[in-house]
Amino acid sequence: MKANQKTRVVVDAMGGDYAPEEIVKGAVSAAEGDGLEVLLVGPPDIVEAELAKYDTSGLSIRSIPADDYIGEGENPALAARRKPNSSIAVAMRMMKEGEADGLISGGPTGAIVTSAICTIGMIEGIKRPVIGGAIFDAAPKTVVFDCGVNMDCKPYHLLTFAVLGSVYCKKLLGVADPVIGLLNIGAEGSKGNQLTKETYSLLEKSGLNFIGNIEGYELLSGRANVIVCDAFVGNVLFKFVESIGLFEDTAGADEKRDLGGGLIWGVNGIVRKVHGHSRASHVALKISHVKLAAEVDLIGAVKSELAAIMKLTKT
């Protein structure tokens, strides 16, 4: 972005259980902040009717036309391909063409990920998109990667998860030299399955601040800032944390805990998935998080750190 240029966040106005009402309301609230332009994508008659409910004079917010949208009942990946003029597809093309600095959607995850991969592509050196974040209120500067996308991984994939988690902590949580831990069944490097053993070896050569394996009882200790695992383990862990109430999923708690959770990490742009049941306050908060991610050049930081680590590990 150029100096003094507003950060442009494109919003899928039709994505989510309460779209477009709550999405538009949240977007208007976000647009009241400084240095931000909000672009609402969806059928003009629907989006503009919602915008007309608010006094938007003086706000940098406008409607971008899209012919269609993807609903929750559809096959998300298939619909992303069959509806080239859906709200998420139009929003993603704006990202590709440099007309937006970041994107949020509460639509189906599969549609968002498919559209992102097909339109803006992956960051060179990252083979799979990742979802990660800080999931423990008791350890707000500890993040878990991957929380739910990649079930069958190779060691290289887990290495890239560590890189993404490291950039997350540096840029969004203010941790200067993030500590990396590999989630495993024992502390010794020889413990675990073939995946963890080979990943351990890669992380040792990575130049990252790798302290070795982290066991389950250390998750809340703060010993590691980035906990690396495949999504089979990460998703079980995430849902266990949800089930016992270790965090409260409210806008206030989320603001304290997590700026990066929900980002589709690894795609070549700032793309954020918000919960389908998000209300206006959550939407406004997530827009502000996307604005911050754009301002700190999150994608540039990932590319730079990944390139350096690939040289060290020769992968």
DSSP state of 180: E
Cβ distance 88 to 115 under 8 Å? yes
CATH fold group of domain 7-127+264-296: Isopropylmalate Dehydrogenase (3.40.718)
From residue 141, alpha-carbon distances to 25, 174, 180, 205, 303 in Å are 31, 9, 12, 24, 22
What is the distance in angstroms between the CA of the first residue and the CA of the last residue of the chain?
32
Looking at residue 137, its pLDDT comes to 81
Q: Residues near 78 by Cβ (< 8 Å), separated by ≥ 6? A: none
Q: What CA–CA distance (Å, rounded) separates 56 from 300?
A: 33
Contact between 277 and 18 under an 8 Å Cβ cutoff? The reply is yes
Q: How many CB atoms lie within 10 A of CB 310?
A: 17
Contact call for residues 84 and 50 (beta carbons, < 8 A): no
The HSE-up count of residue 91 (CA atoms within 13 Å, CB side) is: 37
* Residue 180 contacts residue 165 (beta carbons within 8 Å): yes
Q: Which residues contact 8 (CB under 8 A, 6 or more apart)?
A: 37, 39, 99, 100, 101, 102
Cβ atoms of 39 and 33 closer than 8 Å: no
C-beta neighbour count of 11 within 10 angstroms: 35
Amino acid at 205: K
The pLDDT value recorded for residue 249 is: 46
Give the strand pairing for 271-273 and 102-105.
Answer: parallel
CB 183 within 8 A of CB 214: yes
SS3 for 79? helix
Domain borders along the chain are: 7-127+264-296, 132-246
Q: What is the pLDDT along the chain (315 residues), one digit of tens a residue?
A: 555 689 999 999 999 999 999 999 999 999 999 999 999 999 999 999 999 999 999 999 999 999 999 987 888 778 888 899 999 999 999 999 999 999 999 998 889 999 999 999 999 999 889 988 888 888 889 999 998 788 889 999 999 999 999 999 999 999 999 999 999 999 998 899 999 999 999 999 999 999 999 999 999 999 999 999 998 999 899 888 877 765 544 444 444 446 556 899 999 999 999 988 899 999 999 999 999 999 999 999 999 999 999 888 887
Q: Are 13 and 42 in contact (CB under 8 A)?
A: yes
Global pTM value: 0.88
Burial (0-12, 13-18, 19+ Cβ within 10 Å), 24:
buried
Say which CATH architecture domain 132-246 belongs to: 3-Layer(aba) Sandwich (3.40)
